[in-house]
Amino acid sequence: MKFSPVLLTIGLVLCLFSCADTEQETASETPSRPNILFIMSDDHAYQAISAYMDHLIQTPNIDRIAKEGMLFSNACVTNSICAPSRAVILTGKHSHLNGKIDNRSPFDTTQVTFPQIFQDAGYQTAMYGKLHFGNNPKGVDDFMILPGQGNYINPRFITAEGDTTIEGYVTDIITDLTIDWLDKKRDPNKPFFMAYLHKAPHRPWWPRPDKFKEFTKKTFPEPASLFDDYSNRGTAAKTAEMNLLYHMQYPHDSKIRPETLEAMGEVKPEVPGFAGGFNGPYGRTNDAQRAQYDPVLDSINQFFQENWPGMTDEEKMKWKYQRYMQDYLGCISSVDDNVGRVLDYLEESGLAENTIVVYTSDQGFYLGEHGWFDKRFIYDESFKTPLMVKWPGVIEAGSTNNEMVQNLDFAPTFLEAAGIDVPTDMQGESLMPLLKGENDSWDRDAVYYHYYEYPAVHMVKRHYGVVTKEYKLAHFYYDVDEWELYDRMKDPQEMNNVYDDPEYADVVAELKDKLAELRVKYKDSAELDQKFIDQYNK
Ligand code: SGN
Ligand code: CA
């Protein structure tokens, strides 16, 4: 039998195609290592993410991550304050081991942080936005970070080549830098780890002018515990200085101009609530920005001047709460828009398919619950933090996980996801089983918490504690020696300390054992508590 040259050619072409197909299949069976986009905002409360709760704001873009991936309903931090949280994330170790116990103490830069391990494993790494400590992050090929807390308006950035100031609004700028890196500086031959770190919605909550205008027209529902009197709680809740009425500053936080106060005869920095601070962010505006902020500021100030003198304390509290929410949520609206821009970029560039996207905050935040702003406490709104992760093909879209996970677990998770060995001295657990829906292999029943920064701004006393899904036991120490127990099922708002209730005697005994066990497991101790007090008071 003879084959015509035409048939032979067709046969050869078909064979070539099928050979190519086989190669492609092999490649897709062993997918290349995933990229990781780690998005973290500063002080973003889960109460202000509509994937969790939608009574305050809609965040459709952040919610996309949950819709296409997994929402963690019980994610928490180990120490609810900014720089320590970041140090825990970077090292995979509790504060007492990584040494960055509070915002003041130095971070020991000789420690291994996980981006260094990614870099050594052949990942391209980058960091844009707020880090809060150090000016030369280790393990990142490219970075532009805000010095310290950074500024909302026309922010300055630290870069490897020196400082630079960029005109505009910080949330937009950090996003522009991130997208520009992905688009122009990314090496297509390497997987990447990118940390995209927002300053917003950190105090003093300066929204972009258009959001400022939009959000000052809105009214928000008040939390049930706005007028909490802290009865049935310990000394720490009563002495904390983060109450909206007493400790939130009219100029710095509610945006009352010094000139308004002068006209009212209220310029008394020594009077609680009237310290300066307005001109910090406002003073950075250029003429065009000022012209956009001014009409909104004028109307706030006019209302204040006309109405504040006749207001009762209750009315002042309510007014301050609305002003707070308008600004805080206005900042979040920009974060949401910008997260949307980055997600769109990942889709359009084809990167989304092999990129793990994580959204979290460095801790939670009080949005008027217990009458508070700020964080620090082991109580839920501060202790819990948003966490959602999407990973196409691995995480089931629209899934929810209720296990108790911590920011301590991030580094081991990212390393395992990238197929890199997790250093044995990291204290977190990889969340990979949970991400794959294998909850049965997860056996954590309690987490450990320890807060140190006291005496300091907001005056939240030092405390450590243990939290299970059902209970929370905390020990406040240093200038008090008090225990608190909350029944999380019966009292989710944590209004009643039941530590002395005889009905809970067994629970207390059990949790004290658990706490002691965790202190040993994580290598924390009374000696270390004392060492950090001595170091702080030096
Ligand atoms: C600043 C804020 C505080 C805040 C700390 C720590 N005051 O000092 O309200 O608790 O940062 O925040 S402000 O006058 O600067 O607004 S953290 O997120 O960086 O830990
Ligand atoms: Ca923070």
pLDDT tens for each residue of 144-192: 999 999 999 999 999 999 999 999 999 999 999 999 999 999 999 999 9
* 198 C-alpha to ligand 2 centroid (Å): 10
User: For 448, phi and psi rounded to 5 degrees?
Assistant: -110, 145
**Token pair belonging to 472:** 């929370």
- Percent of the chain whose pLDDT exceeds 70: 94
* 8 C-alpha to ligand 1 centroid (Å): 76
Q: How far apart, in whole angstroms, are the C-alpha atoms of residue 322 and residue 325?
A: 5
| Number of the ligand 1 atom closest to the C-alpha atom of 363 | 18
- Topology of the domain covering 451-536: Arylsulfatase, C-terminal domain (3.30.1120)
Q: How far apart, in whole angstroms, are the C-alpha atoms of residue 94 and residue 429?
A: 12
Q: What is the pLDDT of residues 206-252, one digit of tens each?
A: 999 999 999 999 999 999 999 999 999 999 999 999 999 999 999 99
Q: What's the half-sphere exposure (Cβ side, CA atoms, 13 Å) at 468?
A: 17
| Number of the ligand 1 atom closest to the C-alpha atom of 277 | 14
* 252 C-alpha to ligand 2 centroid (Å): 18
| Number of the ligand 1 atom closest to the C-alpha atom of 249 | 14
Q: How far apart, in whole angstroms, are the C-alpha atoms of residue 128 and residue 113?
A: 16
The H or E element that residue 124 is part of is strand 124-130
What was the pLDDT predicted at 231?
Answer: 98
> Which ligand does the CA of 43 lie closest to?
2
Tell me if residue 128 falls in helix, strand or coil. Answer: strand
| Number of the ligand 1 atom closest to the C-alpha atom of 374 | 10
What's the distance, Cα to Cα, between the start and end of the chain in Å? Answer: 97
User: Which ranges in 188-286 belong to alpha helices (H)?
Assistant: 209-215, 235-239, 244-247, 258-264, 279-282
Mutate to test the pocket of ligand 1, among 205, 375, 457, 460 (most ligand atoms within 8 A of CB): 457
Residue nearest to atom 13 of ligand 1 (CA): 203
Average pLDDT score, the chain: 94
- Of 35-39, 134-138, 317-321, 483-487, least confident by mean pLDDT is 134-138
* CB-based contact 147:130 (threshold 8 Å): no
Beta strands in 374-441 (DSSP E): 387-390, 399-401, 405-406
Residue nearest to atom 20 of ligand 1 (CA): 82
Q: Where in the chain is the domain with CATH 3.30.1120.10?
A: 451-536
What was the pLDDT predicted at 24?
Answer: 37
Name all contacts of 417-421 with Cβ < 8 Å and 24+ positions apart: 417/34, 417/36, 417/356, 417/391, 418/33, 418/34, 418/36, 418/118, 418/121, 418/123, 418/191, 418/193, 419/33, 420/117, 420/118, 420/121
Q: Which pTM was predicted?
A: 0.94
Residue nearest to atom 5 of ligand 1 (CA): 457
Q: Is a pLDDT exceeding 90 seen at residue 3?
A: no
- Percent of the chain whose pLDDT exceeds 90: 91
Q: Is a pLDDT exceeding 50 seen at residue 19?
A: no
* CB-based contact 128:143 (threshold 8 Å): yes
Residue nearest to atom 12 of ligand 1 (CA): 82
Residue 535 banded pLDDT, cuts 50, 70, 90: very high
What was the pLDDT predicted at 276?
Answer: 87
Mutate to test the pocket of ligand 1, among 102, 103, 454 (most ligand atoms within 8 A of CB): 103
Q: What is the pLDDT of residues 193-219, one digit of tens each?
A: 999 999 999 999 999 999 999 999 999
Q: What is the pLDDT of residues 490-523, one digit of tens each?
A: 999 999 999 999 999 999 999 999 999 999 999 9
Query: Which residues are near ligand 1 (CB < 6 Å)?
Result: 42-43, 81-82, 103, 132, 149, 202-204, 252, 374, 457-458
| Number of the ligand 1 atom closest to the C-alpha atom of 42 | 18
**Token pair belonging to 22:** 């086989």
